[in-house]
């Protein structure tokens, strides 16, 4: 029906939650670019107009009506399918997570509504949306009908959901085809959050759909960060024989593909001509039977958390960052991330030595700041520390000695926040997931800040990111920002003489292995012991993990990079559990 | 079929989330008491075995299996219906929110499963449970069949749900009766969270069910606090003609009622013989056409937040509390609440005057502490304040002056936390909902602490609670803890010379009225202006409410007393929204 095969554009964009007009304008510009480059039709990601996740904005009926209106007014030179919240179909119903069809010269029309509403982990769609029951069939023209699904709609078919749904929208499309009119292709508008090594899972989902349907299955994903959620892009297309074509990660662009040619994928960076340094910006073609290339862990995580902090700042209007630098691994990596996102000229480091600080604390922090080209100020906490101890000496004499350690951390927190407040800047929290899990951190001390770039990375992953930062600098001929000393010295909080993390915690390699099995895969104590871990250590770690829930309740948002954070989508209950 | 009519016991108990054996033991003791006092059968509240809300504990299949096992082993002298999580009915399904039937001499059996799973506001049941479709019919003996519903199951029928469900379990029971075997009564196992003035709504729900079914409808509610949720008890029974009988609020007990006599309600305090001072401990009988008595706002809120803090401490093993006392309203009320929950001998107040503190700050704090019989220590922050300003003077010279104000608040936060850490005590956050809404508070300063007793009370409601505290003291012949000066002086943060809240904020009466309409009732800016509020003020308040979401993200848990907190059930998204 089309000479060259139908060319579809997947608009891989980065919407800002709540900015309806801005998001719509971005869609207009991207679809114009797609049309100029030969696209016959285009699709966006899920809920591109509201941005994902819109959360409680959806509780305002006026907001939902505005989303549909703004969508209907989008101008497009080619047929376009746009993801947007839609007003309820009946009185006393919830809105829908749906799509509208825009065709030049015709009136905008509601196309389909999402059937499977994920309500687990970071998802909570049954709070906000009514599930639909109708198969997603869309007649675009006399000779072109397609299947339209939205994100989760495709995951049941691949068995990649934690509990089964009653319906399978892919089977519905297949049944429709058996009854008569064939579909040329099916599309999936997604806002599929990132976690490390999710590529293979998404590949399975689109392959299963394409195989069942016997036609190409095209998935357009959101990219960028909104609040604590990250989206990696990696829009992708599957053909019935198992071939895949995948768009780049972590950048915006238009992914053009001729559905009759799996080698036809083209990537148009967006805004036009600009592209990031991190990605090669090529479409990856994957043979049947092969999986998408797993990116190197450190490199992918570096891109992920840079995207998270960068979008958080840009979308919230934050222009300057302040960061406490101890010369340790976490703060050095955070400083490097901060410089990548707002530029080194907008990052202020603060070294705050105390009587327990080692010499390398300051020298490592200075070397890192210098390599990054950022400012570093030094303010000792010694006088404040002495004054606090003098004022409180009677109170603390016979108490828990942790009080004295925490005073230092909290004085530093006070100073960091003073500089942030004074400059209208945001302070960054430098803690990682391993120490947050163990509560090996000070509430209102090193936990202060508006965003925790490493809050969902285990310590061993922070090392991988550090190496990726250094490799990148070396590739560009720059000095490696994370010093050899920082990378090799034993981690220490330096809140007591000669204190080392490993005096209190198990070695990070063991700790992280146990935490990861328990948190990400749900391994129980007995499973962990069966895996060969020491029984006493397992008990100690799990108890400490539980006992520190109250600290995590008050932590700032952290970009989600793992399969499971600390129930950050849905906060964990507090202490009352036995 | 029973000479005197059937006597049913509603076990209004206070379970601890996760303490399965403890909760089951409590049920055993209460049902034994009920039987001794003539009960023919008994019911518990919803999910009494896991406690409500069990949240992510439900993601562990072993936990759910244990719940059912522990329930099956409960010993009871009379037929008993117990609310508990139940394992999934099929592979790859979620667990159920259900009930088990225990009859002496017979094997424990699953009775019913909840159909309507609320997933809005503080509820998130579709995350964890599979909805059932079968009507809740339970044959207890040859001549006794009853209807069994669980909490939300009854609310659709009264129209008291934000969006309609597909099913109406009350209509299902009615349809069953029309077809044949009549039901003697229907019960509802509830964990219906408190908010101020919810009594009327619950009355409507049970009346609607009883009227449709033509037989008595008995609702047993949980009491007490778990995490941030509060349950007020107030179990109640409706008869088809509209009569009601309601159990006391805020205390545990066994509510006995002969279903053929609406004046038969008896209240057995639990543990046997003990009762609180606040409630009259009488069953309230309400005539058809009348509503349950609305308790006085200050008195009911006082009971609510005392329950919240008390249960939080008791269930988490917290024995001592530390509190910053400024002589202002919020900290004085918090001190009184603290003394009510853990006893004045376990509360330490800290007065921390600065160069900007007025004389009455200290004298009012001292008078309150003395009246309460609690310890009060005084530590000036002057030297620390001077040292901090000296260390940071260059940095802060040309910056935002709020940095200097916050330093004082954060130094106080550091000192409060030092004392809490040293004594293994918990610090209390004293802020109220009005100032948290406006961000008129300091992150890591006056916001430090593990629990915020007033975090969901508007300032005007804090005044009502203060008067209730004083009235109660006077009733017992004690000195009123909240001084006249504290009650009448204009509120001030005292972080700058002669600073008053009202220099920055609108008068609290106006502010609270706007906040309450917007937050609790969803009134938009245009609605608020139509209500007569000043347009500029409305715009200023709503912008500030939005701009301070990042602070509320990091606030400690607060007992929920309002119709809507700050999306505390589901945390609000952060700043990126336009």
Nearest chain B residue to A406 by CA: give it.
Answer: B418
Domain of B432, CATH number, reads 3.40.50.620
Same domain? For B222 and B350 the reply is no
Q: In a 10 Å sphere around its CB, with 0-12 CB exposed, 13-18 middle and 19+ buried, how is residue A467 labelled?
A: middle
Name the residue facing B127 among A120, A312, A419 (closest C-beta).
A120
Is residue B403 less than 8 Å (CB to CB) from chain A? yes
pLDDT at A547 over 80: yes
Residue A323 lies in a domain: yes
List of chain A residues whose C-beta atoms are within 8 Å of the C-beta of residue B94: 163
Name the residue facing A422 among B62, B399, B571 (closest C-beta).
B399
pLDDT at A83 over 90: yes
Shortest Cα–Cα distance, A452 to chain B (Å): 12
B336-340, B352-356, B548-552: which has the minimum mean pLDDT?
B548-552
Strand partners, A113: A98
Residue A100 lies in a domain: yes
Same domain? For B63 and B185 the reply is yes
Tell me which of A26, A67, A114, A125 is the catalytic residue. Answer: A114
A99-103, B138-142, B527-531: which has the minimum mean pLDDT?
B138-142
Residues of chain A with pLDDT > 90: what percent?
81
pLDDT at B277 over 60: no
Q: Among residues 111-150 of chain B, which lie with CB inside 8 Å of chain A?
A: 119-120, 124, 126-127, 130
Is residue A6 less than 8 Å (CB to CB) from chain B? no
H or E stretch covering A521:
helix A508-521
CA-based nearest residue to A522, from A162, A157, A164: A162
Query: What average pLDDT does the segment A32-60 reach?
Result: 95
Same domain? For A343 and A307 the reply is yes
State pLDDT tens for residues B48-86: 999 999 988 898 899 999 999 999 999 999 999 999 999
Shortest Cα–Cα distance, B533 to chain A (Å): 21
Shortest Cα–Cα distance, B96 to chain A (Å): 13
Shortest Cα–Cα distance, B486 to chain A (Å): 27
pLDDT at B511 over 80: yes
Query: What is the distance between the alpha carbons of residues B498 and B353, in angstroms, rounded to a whole number?
Result: 14
A:B CB pairs within 8 Å:
250
Same domain? For B451 and B472 the reply is yes
Residue A143 lies in a domain: yes
Shortest Cα–Cα distance, A161 to chain B (Å): 9
The reply to whether A46 belongs to the active site is yes
Q: How far lies B547's CA from each of A388, B203, B436, B540, B574, in Å?
A: 33, 39, 11, 10, 9
What stretches of B114-252 adopt beta strand conformation (E)? Answer: 137-141, 144-150, 186-190, 217-221, 223-226, 229-232, 236-238, 244-246
State pLDDT tens for residues B414-438: 999 999 999 999 999 999 999 999 9
Nearest chain A residue to B317 by CA: give it.
Answer: A576
Average pLDDT, chain A: 92
List of chain B residues whose C-beta atoms are within 8 Å of the C-beta of residue A130: 163
Q: How far lies B362's CA from each of B183, B366, B378, B490, B503, in Å?
A: 65, 6, 9, 16, 23
Shortest Cα–Cα distance, B399 to chain A (Å): 4
Q: What is the pLDDT of residue B493?
A: 84
Q: How far lies B225's CA from each of B119, B338, B436, B553, in Å?
A: 20, 15, 22, 21
Q: What is the pLDDT of residue A274?
A: 63
Domain of A68, CATH number, reads 3.60.110.10
Half-sphere exposure of A129 (CA within 13 A, CB side): 24
Residue A575 lies in a domain: no
pLDDT at B572 over 50: no
Q: What is the pLDDT of residue A99?
A: 98
State pLDDT tens for residues A514-531: 999 998 888 889 999 999
Residue A531 lies in a domain: no
Same domain? For B222 and B359 the reply is no
List of chain B residues whose C-beta atoms are within 8 Å of the C-beta of residue A422: 395-396, 399-400, 403
pLDDT-based confidence at residue B565 (cuts at 50, 70, 90): confident
CB spacing of B418 vs A396 below 8 angstroms: yes
> Is the pLDDT higher at A439 or at B5?
A439
Is residue B227 less than 8 Å (CB to CB) from chain A? yes
Same domain? For A141 and A189 the reply is yes
Q: What is the pLDDT of residue B199?
A: 84
Q: How many Cβ atoms from other residues are within 10 Å of residue B442's Cβ?
A: 24
Q: What is the pLDDT of residue A565?
A: 72
pLDDT-based confidence at residue A454 (cuts at 50, 70, 90): very high
Q: Choosing among A402, A410, A413, which should be mutated to test the B contact, i.e. which has the most B CBs within 10 A?
A: A410
State pLDDT tens for residues B95-145: 999 999 999 999 999 999 999 999 998 899 999 999 999 999 999 988 899
List of chain A residues whose C-beta atoms are within 8 Å of the C-beta of residue B578: 16, 18-20, 22
Query: What is the distance between the alpha carbons of residues A111 and A83, in angstroms, rounded to a whole number?
Result: 10
Q: What is the pLDDT of residue A575?
A: 40
Same domain? For B272 and B370 the reply is no
Same domain? For B215 and B340 the reply is no
Q: Among residues 404-423 of chain A, which lie with CB inside 8 Å of chain B?
A: 404, 406-407, 410-411, 413-415, 417-419, 421-423
Q: How far lies B145's CA from each of A215, B148, B169, B190, in Å?
A: 56, 10, 16, 20
Domain end residue (candidates: B264, B295, B326): B295
Q: Choosing among B444, B450, B495, B570, which should be mutated to test the A contact, i.e. which has the most A CBs within 10 A?
A: B444
Name the residue facing A571 among B20, B417, B571 (closest C-beta).
B571
Q: What is the pLDDT of residue A298?
A: 96
Q: How many Cβ atoms from other residues are within 10 Å of residue A382's Cβ?
A: 17
Catalytic residues of B: 46, 114, 151
pLDDT at A568 over 70: no
Residue A415 lies in a domain: yes
CA-based nearest residue to A457, from A470, A445, A466: A466
Query: What is the distance between the alpha carbons of residues A571 and A565, in angstroms, rounded to a whole number?
Result: 10
Is residue A525 less than 8 Å (CB to CB) from chain B? no
pLDDT-based confidence at residue A267 (cuts at 50, 70, 90): very high
State pLDDT tens for residues B358-411: 888 899 999 999 999 999 999 999 999 999 999 999 999 999 999 999 999 999
Q: What is the pLDDT of residue A280?
A: 59
Query: What average pLDDT does the segment A280-289 reach?
Result: 88
pLDDT at A338 over 70: yes
Q: What is the pLDDT of residue B404?
A: 93
Query: What average pLDDT does the segment A70-76 reach?
Result: 98
Strand order in the sheet with B137-141: B137-141, B144-150, B186-190, B217-221, B236-238, B244-246, B284-286
Average pLDDT, chain B: 92
Is residue B402 less than 8 Å (CB to CB) from chain A? yes
Residue A555 lies in a domain: no
pLDDT-based confidence at residue B272 (cuts at 50, 70, 90): low
Q: What is the pLDDT of residue B87?
A: 98
B269-283, B284-298, B543-557: which has the minimum mean pLDDT?
B269-283
List of chain A residues whose C-beta atoms are within 8 Å of the C-beta of residue B406: 417-418, 421
Strand partners, B220: B189
Our count of domains for chain B comes to 2
Q: What is the pLDDT of residue A4?
A: 61
pLDDT-based confidence at residue A287 (cuts at 50, 70, 90): very high
Query: What is the distance between the alpha carbons of residues B422 and B405, in angstroms, rounded to a whole number?
Result: 27
CB spacing of B59 vs A522 below 8 angstroms: yes
State pLDDT tens for residues A461-490: 999 999 999 999 999 999 999 999 999 999
Q: Is the pTM of this model over 0.90?
A: yes
pLDDT at A393 over 80: yes
Same domain? For A319 and A407 the reply is yes
CB spacing of B383 vs A395 below 8 angstroms: no
pLDDT-based confidence at residue B5 (cuts at 50, 70, 90): confident
State pLDDT tens for residues B168-216: 999 999 999 998 889 999 999 999 999 998 888 999 999 999 999 999 9
- DSSP letter string over A145-181? EEEEEEGGGGTTTTT-SSS--S--HHHHHHHHHHHSP
H or E stretch covering A7:
strand A7-12
CB spacing of A421 vs B414 below 8 angstroms: no
Residues of chain A with pLDDT > 70: what percent?
96
pLDDT at A552 over 80: yes
Same domain? For A242 and A378 the reply is no
Residue A436 lies in a domain: yes
Q: What is the pLDDT of residue B546?
A: 86
Q: What is the pLDDT of residue A553?
A: 83
CB spacing of A418 vs B400 below 8 angstroms: no
CB spacing of A57 vs B573 below 8 angstroms: yes
Give me the residue label for tokens 């920002």.
Answer: A481
Query: What average pLDDT does the segment B558-562 reach?
Result: 88
CB spacing of B417 vs A444 below 8 angstroms: yes
ipTM of the complex: 0.94
pLDDT-based confidence at residue A275 (cuts at 50, 70, 90): low
Is residue B209 less than 8 Å (CB to CB) from chain A? no
Domain end residue (candidates: A240, A259, A292): A292
Query: What is the distance between the alpha carbons of residues A71 and A78, in angstroms, rounded to a whole number?
Result: 15
Q: What is the pLDDT of residue B193?
A: 96
Q: Among residues 338-357 of chain A, which lie with CB inside 8 Å of chain B?
A: none
CA-based nearest residue to A122, from B61, B573, B530: B573
Same domain? For A270 and A333 the reply is no
pLDDT-based confidence at residue A555 (cuts at 50, 70, 90): confident
Q: Among residues 288-307 of chain A, which lie with CB inside 8 Å of chain B?
A: none
pLDDT at A187 over 50: yes
Phi, psi of A392 (to 5 degrees): -110, 5
Shortest Cα–Cα distance, B205 to chain A (Å): 18
For the ranges A232-246, A272-286, A501-515, the one whose mean pLDDT is highest:
A232-246
Phi, psi of A548 (to 5 degrees): -105, 15
State pLDDT tens for residues B454-502: 999 999 999 999 999 999 999 999 999 999 999 999 888 888 888 888 8
List of chain A residues whose C-beta atoms are within 8 Å of the C-beta of residue B443: 417, 448
Shortest Cα–Cα distance, A42 to chain B (Å): 26
Query: What average pLDDT does the segment A551-565 reach?
Result: 84
Q: Among residues 468-507 of chain B, which lie with CB inside 8 Å of chain A?
A: none
pLDDT at A572 over 70: no
Full residue range of the structural domain in which residue B264 is found: 7-295
CA-based nearest residue to A450, from A565, A353, A320, A569: A320
Is residue A463 less than 8 Å (CB to CB) from chain B? no
Is residue A107 less than 8 Å (CB to CB) from chain B? no
Same domain? For A103 and A151 the reply is yes
């Amino acid at each position: 029906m089309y000479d060259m095969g139908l060319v579809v554009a997947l608009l891989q964009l980065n919407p800002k939650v709540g900015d309806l007009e801005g998001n719509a304008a971005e869609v207009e510009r991207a679809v114009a670019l797609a049309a100029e480059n030969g696209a016959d039709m285009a699709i966006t990601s899920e809920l591109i107009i509201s941005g994902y996740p819109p959360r409680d904005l959806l509780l305002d009926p006026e907001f939902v009506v505005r989303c549909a209106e703004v969508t209907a007014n989008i101008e497009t030179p080619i047929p376009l399918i746009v993801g947007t919240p839609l007003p309820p179909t009946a009185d006393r119903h919830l809105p829908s997570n749906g799509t509208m069809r825009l065709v030049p010269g015709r009136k905008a029309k509601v196309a389909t509504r999402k059937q499977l509403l994920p309500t687990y982990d970071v998802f909570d769609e049954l709070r906000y949306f009514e599930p639909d029951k109708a198969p997603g069939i869309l007649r675009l023209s006399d000779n072109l009908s397609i299947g339209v699904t939205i994100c989760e709609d495709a995951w049941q078919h691949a068995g990649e959901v934690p509990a089964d749904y009653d319906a399978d929208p892919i089977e519905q499309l297949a049944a429709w085809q058996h009854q008569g009119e064939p579909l040329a292709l099916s599309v999936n508008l997604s806002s599929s959050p990132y976690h490390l090594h999710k590529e293979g899972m998404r590949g399975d989902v689109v392959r299963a759909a394409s195989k069942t349907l016997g036609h190409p299955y095209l998935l357009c994903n959101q990219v960028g960060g909104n609040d604590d959620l990250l989206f990696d892009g990696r829009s992708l297309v599957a053909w019935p024989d198992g071939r895949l074509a995948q768009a780049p990660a972590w950048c915006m662009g238009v992914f053009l593909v001729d559905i009759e040619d799996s080698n036809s994928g083209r990537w148009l960076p967006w805004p036009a001509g600009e592209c990031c340094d991190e990605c090669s910006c090529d479409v990856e073609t994957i043979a049947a039977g092969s999986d998408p290339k797993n990116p190197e862990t450190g490199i992918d995580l570096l891109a992920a958390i840079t995207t998270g902090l960068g979008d958080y700042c840009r979308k919230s209007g934050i222009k300057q960052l302040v960061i406490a630098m101890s010369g340790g691994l976490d703060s050095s990596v955070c400083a490097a991330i901060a410089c990548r996102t707002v530029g080194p000229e907008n990052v202020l480091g603060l070294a705050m030595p105390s009587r327990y600080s080692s010499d390398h604390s300051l020298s490592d922090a200075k070397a890192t700041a210098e390599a990054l080209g950022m400012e570093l100020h030094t303010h000792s906490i010694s006088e404040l520390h002495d004054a606090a101890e003098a004022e409180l000496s009677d109170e603390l004499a016979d108490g828990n000695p942790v009080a004295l350690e925490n005073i230092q951390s909290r004085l530093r927190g006070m100073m960091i926040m003073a500089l942030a407040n004074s400059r209208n800047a945001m302070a960054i929290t430098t803690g990682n997931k391993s120490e947050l899990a163990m509560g090996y951190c000070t509430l209102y001390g090193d936990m202060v800040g508006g965003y925790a770039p490493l809050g969902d990375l285990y310590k061993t992953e922070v090392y991988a990111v550090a190496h990726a930062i250094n490799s990148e600098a070396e590739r560009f001929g720059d000095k490696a920002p994370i010093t050899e000393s920082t990378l090799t010295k034993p981690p220490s909080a330096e809140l007591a003489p000669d204190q080392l993390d490993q005096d209190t915690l198990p070695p990070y390699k063991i700790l992280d292995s146990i935490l990861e099995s328990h948190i990400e895969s749900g391994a129980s104590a007995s499973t962990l012991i069966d895996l060969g871990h020491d029984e006493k250590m397992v008990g100690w770690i799990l108890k400490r993990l539980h006992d520190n829930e109250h600290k995590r309740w008050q932590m700032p948002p952290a970009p989600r990079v793992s399969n499971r954070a600390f129930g950050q989508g849905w906060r964990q209950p507090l202490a009352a559990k036995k």
